[in-house]
Chains A and B, each alone.
Chain A
Amino acid sequence: MASPLEQFEIHPIIPLQLGDVDVSFTNSSLYMVLTVVLTAGFVLLGMRNRALVPGRFQCAVEMSYEFVANLLRDTVGNEGRRYFPFVFTLFMFVLFGNLLGMTPYSFTITSHIVVTFALALVVFLGVTVLGFVKHGFHFFSFFVPPGTPLPMWPLLIPIEIISYLSRPISLSVRLFANMLAGHTLLKVIAGFIGILSFAGILPFAFVVVLTGLEILIACLQAYVFTILTCLYINDALHLH
């Protein structure tokens, strides 16, 4: 039986070399391209009629738009509008990446820590730069929670800095670990179906249920990734 981790392996499809670096077009790249095509296609095709009274497809696009817009408005407020395109892109990319990974025999781009970490790092760096641009050196006051007595500062400031620096890690590991665990579990349980012959109906039923749960998690983790990004933007804009 194949290892449950085999599904995460990366195979080059078109070998490519950029200088000394291997940038082959791999199965992962293929699913990234698919994610982009699906996301862009979803929005562009959905809006092709630009109907005043939307049909089903356009309604779905507008609902996702409204969902992210409300998320951003509720956490950041109206100043958050500027970051809407980025937040929306992030949400749709993670959501479609996760959901695409739920297709049998497919590859889940978000099951690789390097991908989720890169996304989280973009968010982290962007938010940090935003904080400095907005507040200058006053941004450092973010590491001192308001109302902290002076004697507590030497203790609290390192804690705050560590918790701030661990944001990209927690953000990326949360998504990566969820995808990894879910897909591994599905594979492991699916492995029992063949082994158990007739009793295999039980793991099969479990896999069906678990697939539903995984689809839920795929959406939920995209949501969590997005709302945390919104919260970080809010922190950078308003400090506390």
Chain B
Amino acid sequence: MPQLDPSVFPTQLFWLALTFIPLYLILWKVALPRVTDVRESRRGRIESDLEKAETLKSEAEAALADYEKTIAEATAKAQDAVREAARKMSEDADKQREALAAKLGEQLAAAEQRIADEKARAIGDIGDIAGDLAQAAASRLAGGDISRDEANAAVSAVMQERA
């Protein structure tokens, strides 16, 4: 078995050392740091990208919140405006109705006043007419001549009795 021949041991050990040690040094000092660097920078990049994404996400969320706030404010404003307009309109309507009611009341009062005046005047006229009638009736029926004043007094006495 060639493996057990001691004469080939030294050369194998010599060349093992001469190959393994340089390989170790090359990998340790040159090759592996490159791998490590690449992996580190990749991890850094991924982390920074994630961070950036996180920032952008929070920014987007802030923008969305802003937008929603603006919308809510605008809605509230619009509702206020609508409410205000409605209130004003109903106020105006109330005012107009009141004014109208006041005007109508005035006209009504004036009309009533006029009616009352007419009535008073009519009643006054009735007294006169009744006086004339009473005087004429008295002169015609009784043949007696009564004065105008007497007739009036009698009429007003009767009217007062019946009023």
Contacts and interface: CB of A to CB of B under 8 A. Distances in A.
B18 to A, nearest CB: 8
Q: State the main secondary structure of chain A at its contact with B.
A: helix
Interface in A60-93: 61-62, 65, 84-86, 88-89, 92-93
B69 to A, nearest CB: 40
A164 interface: no
A118 interface: yes
B23 interface: yes
Q: State the main secondary structure of chain B at its contact with A.
A: helix
8 contacts: A23-B10, A23-B11, A28-B11, A29-B15, A33-B19, A35-B23, A89-B27, A112-B12
Given A44-B30, A89-B20, A32 B8 contact: no
A50 B38 contact: yes
Contacts of A35: 19, 23
B12 A28 contact: yes
Contact of A47 (B12, B28, B35): B35
Interface stretch (B39-47, B56-64, B105-113, B152-160): B39-47
B2 interface: yes
Interface of A: 5, 8-10, 12, 16, 18, 21-26, 28-29, 32-33, 35-36, 39-40, 43-44, 47, 50-52, 54, 58, 61-62, 65, 84-86, 88-89, 92-93, 109, 111-115, 118-119, 176, 180
B147 interface: no
Contacts of A47: 31, 34-35, 38
Nearest to B28: A85
Contacts of A28: 8, 11-12, 15
Interface in B13-29: 13-20, 22-24, 26-28
Contact of A26 (B4, B15, B35): B15
